């Protein structure tokens, strides 16, 4: 039967349980008020075993167990339903053993003897009968029974048990009214921790909430995210199933199938169990958590074996994992790997010997005692009792611990530290207060109770292992409650699979690093994978979305983190920068050398033909342009970015204006003076060259000022061009003034080139036009190369390309225009004479007249 449990169902069941508990408490209270005295008269015959003592501890154990027979309505005990219970028998011996050990101790309760009354709680009615006997008092008058039990002294000072949570609810409700301490050794239901309902309930076994937490940790440790959960049809199974489903879902573990196992003893129930097993095989899960009591788990696994389900992993709870009821099922070895949670395995020295001695004493009379309450039990002989199983030994230690908790509390309450106990009168609530606050060590185990009455112990993780013809449990890990940590020993684990490898139970394989999930089903464990693109990363807190990196970060494709981008600019000390700086220094020294040569030879024909004093203006502007190159190195600043381009543009405009004037003058002298004498006279007499140079430079200055004022170049971080780099550069704004500045320089250079082309056939000594043409060609090619590179490359070395373009423009003029003049001045002095220049002019005139 498939049963999906929702949070609303859980809330409804909880409210229903609360209402039922209040009604039941009221009934029990009324019953106790009316009949507790009469019950006290016959209570001596209700216990299975009893030994007198100064203080009596009551024990509730299932000496007989109800066979698999579920009823839908209350009925009087059907005695034929009960079988003798081996575990219950062993637990009785554990309680007797611990009390005798305490009584024989000289330091724990000196001069005080503990007695016991042990009851067989084989059914709900027997459990209720025993509970009322716990709180009874001999010849207690009706009139003194009040709704205030602070001064009430029941027959038993404390109760150990009962076994199941269902029975513990009844016992805890009644004992809570009298504040009689109750310590259960096997009741795990989480609701029993509610102190407002069950104020005197404690236990030496962790509750189901902790068990659910450990099961989820176990699933996570082996990466099992696609599981099924089945539970028994009782409070233990239903609440465990719902709690495990909720916590598993919170931790990204998907549960495509969950079911409640019904009664399998009748035909309808058996058919439902078959359907559950068949549905399990259809879901594709390899891991099934069975949150069930041992009785129901036996029915379930018998059906699993009948359906030949193999190669599975079955995770068990502490109730059935180590129970012989399950491990002794025929062919159980075929179902796969069985592992899960068990209580801490602690060996009790002397218990086995105590049982063997007890089995030989008065066996016949004790057999009769065992059958007093739940009659018609099957005959047995104590000599035929099996050796205690691992499960029996674990629960036996819980019983042992519970008895010692009462003893240590009595030790403090009676002032036994002095060497003799006081035997003072005390009330149950005083003992309860001491038990809640005790802390002691028992067989290397620290024993204490938290504020909810739960122990501080953890769990063992056990796995079934086949040894010869029988199953045995092997501890493969442990859960430490105080550290909230699960430790698993993964070496040499024997998985009952074909390849002895850890079974895989997932809906979809985990995505690779940096791949996000795309949902393909209602279950979050079923997904496809898609790589995160570059400049994004996959945050583990959200595996379904790729998060974008910050502007100063970058990431490659399929990344789980972003990296800081490297800051790039043209460093002063890197090789490229050092090479450029060397070229700038060479250029600067070359310009200074030319200036010196021209100063020393100012009145020679070569210097006069080059432009005379105007040459110093050209050289000065080139030196100024050369100085702007230092603004391109290092971290860009606001001042550097704002000045470097306008200063270069103004300096080079002055240079181009001078070259334009010089080329125009040469052409005018040889070609325009004869045709336009008045224009030539006006140009010379009215200082046309100076006016033009000044005007042309002023225009460029005005354009640059407008550019700086409106939209200047500023330092900026360019992060769009490279994934892993941030380029520190000056912004290259394309404002109208910036474009006009470039266009104006292009216009001047074009006009200069035109005049030079017109004067290409002038006298050899007046070859300025050819020299300027060569210089301008270098200028044009360098800037064409720069703009082409700028279009295709945006890295930090675009600054170096810009420097190269400026260097080429300056070198072009120095080498193309001035170096030939220096060559004549220094090495061809015979050509630097007035006679040579006059001869050249005469030859040019004769050639023109012949043409």
Residue range 222-227: mean pLDDT, rounded: 94
- State the pLDDT at residue 66: 57
Rounded CA gap, 130 and 674, in Å?
143
Q: How buried is residue 3: exposed, middle or buried, by Cβ count under 10 Å (0-12/13-18/19+)?
A: middle
pLDDT digits (tens, 9 = 90+) for 527-558: 999 999 999 999 888 888 999 988 888 999 99
If pLDDT is split at 50, 70 and 90, which confidence band does 1 have? very low
Q: What is the pLDDT of residue 845?
A: 56
Instruction: Tell me, rounded to whole angstroms, the distance of Cα 143 from its chain centroid.
Output: 65
- Say what the alpha-carbon torsion angle 136, 142, 146, 151 is, to the nearest 10 degrees: -50
**Any idea how long the chain is?**
851
pLDDT in tens, 651-707: 988 988 888 887 777 666 555 555 556 656 666 666 777 888 888 889 889 988 888
Average pLDDT over residues 71-77: 43
Return the pLDDT at 638: 87
Q: How confident is the model at residue 404 (pLDDT cuts 50, 70, 90)?
A: very high
- Point out which residues pair with 488 in neighbouring strands: 477
Q: What average pLDDT does this structure show over 432-460?
A: 92
> What pLDDT digit, counting tens, does each position of 739-779 carry?
888 888 888 888 888 777 665 555 554 556 677 778 888 88
How would you write 1-30 as a 3-class SS string? CECCCCHHHHHHHHHHHHHHHHHHHHHHHH
pLDDT at 634: 86
The residue-averaged pLDDT of 561-568 equals 88
| 130, 313, 621, 734 from 649: Cα distances, Å | 109, 81, 10, 15
Q: What's the confidence (pLDDT) of residue 684?
A: 63
Do 133 and 43 meet the contact criterion of CB atoms below 8 Å apart?
Answer: yes
Q: Radius of gyration (Cα) for the chain, nearest Å? A: 51
522/533 Cα distance (integer angstroms): 26
Taking the whole predicted model, whether its pTM rises above 0.95 is answered as no
Mean pLDDT of 155-184: 91
Percent share of the chain, pLDDT over 70 = 79
Give the pLDDT confidence of 276-306 residue by residue, as tens digits. Answer: 999 998 888 999 999 998 889 999 999 999 9
- Which residue(s) pair with 290 in the sheet? 230, 316
Mean pLDDT of the chain: 80
Indicate if the pLDDT at residue 725 is higher than 90: no
Q: Does 325 or 207 have the greater pLDDT score? A: 207
How confident is the model at residue 27, as a pLDDT?
44
Q: What is the dihedral of CA 572, 576, 581, 586, to 10 degrees?
A: 170
pLDDT of residue 371: 46
Token duo for residue 210: 């902790």
The answer to whether residues 748 and 660 touch, using CB atoms and an 8 Å cutoff, is yes
CB-based contacts of 434-443 (< 8 A; 24+ apart in sequence): 434/409, 434/410, 435/158, 435/181, 435/183, 435/202, 435/405, 435/406, 435/409, 436/202, 438/405, 438/408, 438/409, 438/412, 440/404, 440/405, 440/408, 442/400, 442/401, 442/404, 443/346, 443/347, 443/348, 443/397
Place of tokens 């432009």: 611
Separation of alpha carbons 202 and 195, rounded Å: 10
* pLDDT for 579: 92
Residue 240: is it exposed, middle or buried by C-beta count within 10 angstroms (0-12/13-18/19+)? buried
- Measure the N-to-C terminal CA separation of the chain; round to a whole number of Å: 120
Strand pairing category for 336-343 and 312-316 = parallel
Residues 203, 184 contacting (CB under 8 angstroms): yes
User: For residues 302 and 331, what is the distance between their CA atoms, to the nearest angstrom?
Assistant: 9
Cβ atoms of 713 and 627 within 8 Å: the answer is: no
Predicted local confidence at residue 386, as pLDDT: 54
pLDDT category of residue 182 using cuts at 50, 70 and 90: very high
Q: Above 50 in pLDDT, residue 20? A: no
Say yes or no to pLDDT of 601 above 70.
yes
Percent of the chain with pLDDT over 90: 30
What integer pLDDT is reported at residue 84 of this predicted model?
55
pLDDT in tens, 449-500: 999 999 988 899 999 987 766 778 889 999 988 778 899 988 888 898 888 8
**Structure token pair of residue 467:** 């040894």
Q: What is the DSSP letter of 338?
A: E
Given pLDDT bands bounded at 50, 70 and 90, which one contains residue 424? confident
């Amino acid at each position: 039967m498939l049963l999906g449990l929702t949070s609303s169902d859980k809330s409804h069941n909880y409210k229903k349980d609360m209402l039922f508990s209040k009604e039941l408490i009221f009934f029990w209270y009324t019953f106790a008020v009316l009949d507790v005295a009469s019950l006290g008269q016959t209570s001596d015959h209700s216990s299975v075993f009893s030994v007198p003592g100064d203080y009596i501890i009551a024990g509730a154990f299932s000496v007989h167990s109800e066979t698999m027979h579920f009823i839908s309505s209350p009925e009087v005990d059907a005695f034929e339903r009960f079988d003798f219970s081996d575990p219950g028998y062993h637990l009785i011996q554990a309680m007797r053993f611990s009390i005798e050990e305490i009584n024989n101790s000289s330091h724990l309760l000196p001069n005080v003897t503990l007695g016991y009354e042990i009851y067989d709680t084989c059914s709900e009615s027997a459990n209720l009968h025993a509970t009322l006997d716990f709180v009874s008092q001999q010849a207690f008058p009706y009139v003194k029974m009040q709704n205030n039990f602070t001064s009430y002294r029941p027959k038993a000072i404390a109760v150990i048990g009962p076994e199941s949570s269902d029975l513990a609810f009844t016992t805890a409700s009644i004992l809570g009214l009298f504040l009689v301490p109750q310590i259960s050794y096997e009741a795990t239901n989480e609701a029993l921790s509610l102190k407002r309902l069950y104020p005197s309930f404690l236990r030496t076994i962790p509750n189901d909430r902790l068990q659910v937490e450990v099961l989820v940790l176990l699933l996570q440790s082996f990466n099992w995210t696609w599981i099924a959960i089945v539970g028994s049809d009782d409070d233990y199974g239903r609440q465990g199933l719902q709690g495990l489903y909720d916590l598993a879902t919170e931790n990204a573990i998907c549960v495509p199938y969950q079911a409640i196992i019904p009664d399998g003893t009748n035909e309808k129930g058996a058919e439902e169990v078959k359907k559950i097993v068949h549905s399990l095989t259809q879901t594709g899960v390899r891991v099934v958590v069975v949150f069930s009591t041992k009785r129901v788990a036996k029915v379930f696994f018998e059906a699993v074996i009948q359906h030949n389900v193999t190669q599975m992993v079955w995770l068990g709870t502490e109730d059935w994992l180590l129970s012989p009821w399950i491990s002794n099922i025929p062919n159980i070895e075929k179902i796969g790997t069985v592992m899960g949670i068990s209580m801490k395995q602690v060996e009790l020295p002397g218990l086995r010997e105590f049982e063997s001695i007890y089995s030989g004493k008065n066996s016949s009379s004790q057999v009769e005692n065992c059958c007093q309450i739940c009659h018609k039990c099957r005959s047995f002989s104590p000599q035929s009792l099996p050796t205690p199983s691992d499960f029996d030994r674990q629960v036996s230690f819980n019983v042992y611990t519970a008895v010692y908790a009462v003893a240590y509390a009595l030790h403090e309450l009676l002032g036994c530290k002095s060497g003799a106990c006081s035997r003072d009168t005390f009330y149950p609530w005083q003992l309860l207060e001491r038990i809640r606050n005790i802390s002691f060590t028992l067989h290397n185990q620290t024993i204490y109770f938290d504020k909810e009455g739960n122990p501080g112990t953890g769990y063992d993780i056990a796995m079934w292992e086949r040894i010869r013809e029988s199953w045995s449990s092997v501890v493969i890990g442990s859960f430490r409650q105080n550290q909230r940590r699960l430790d698993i020993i993964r070496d040499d684990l024997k998985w009952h699979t074909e390849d002895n490898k850890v079974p895989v139970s997932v809906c979809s394989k985990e995505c690779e690093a940096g791949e996000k999930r795309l949902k393909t089903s209602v279950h979050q464990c079923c997904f496809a994978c898609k790589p995160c693109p570059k400049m994004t990363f996959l945050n583990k807190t959200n595996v379904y979305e790729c998060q974008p990196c910050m502007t100063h970060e970058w990431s490659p494709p399929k990344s789980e983190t972003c990296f800081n981008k490297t800051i790039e600019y043209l460093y002063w000390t890197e090789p490229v920068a050092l090479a450029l700086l060397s070229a700038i220094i060479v250029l600067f020294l070359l310009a200074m050398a030319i200036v010196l040569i021209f100063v020393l030879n100012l009145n020679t024909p070569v210097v006069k033909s080059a432009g005379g004093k105007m040459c110093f203006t050209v050289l000065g502007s080139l030196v100024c342009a050369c100085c702007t190159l230092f603004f391109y190195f290092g971290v860009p600043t606001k001042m550097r970015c704002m000045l470097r381009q306008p200063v270069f543009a103004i300096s080079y405009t002055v240079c181009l204006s001078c070259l334009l004037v010089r080329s125009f003058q040469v052409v005018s002298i040889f070609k325009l003076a004869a045709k336009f004498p008045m224009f030539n006279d006006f140009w010379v007499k009215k200082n046309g060259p100076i006016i033009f140079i000044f005007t042309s430079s002023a225009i460029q200055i005005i354009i640059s000022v407008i550019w700086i004022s409106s939209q200047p170049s500023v330092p900026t971080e360019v992060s769009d061009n490279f994934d892993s780099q941030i380029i520190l550069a000056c912004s290259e704004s394309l404002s109208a003034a910036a474009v006009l500045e470039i266009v104006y320089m292009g216009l001047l250079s074009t006009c200069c080139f035109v005049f030079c082309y017109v004067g290409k056939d002038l006298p050899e000594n007046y070859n300025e036009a050819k020299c300027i043409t060569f210089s301008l060609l270098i200028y044009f090619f360098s800037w064409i190369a720069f703009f082409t590179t700028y279009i295709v490359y945006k890295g930090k070395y675009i600054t170096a390309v810009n420097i190269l373009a400026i260097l080429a423009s300056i070198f072009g003029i120095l080498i193309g225009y001035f170096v030939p003049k220096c060559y004549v001045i220094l090495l061809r002095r015979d050509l630097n004479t007035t006679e040579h220049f006059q001869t050249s002019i005469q030859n040019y005139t004769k050639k023109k007249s012949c043409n």
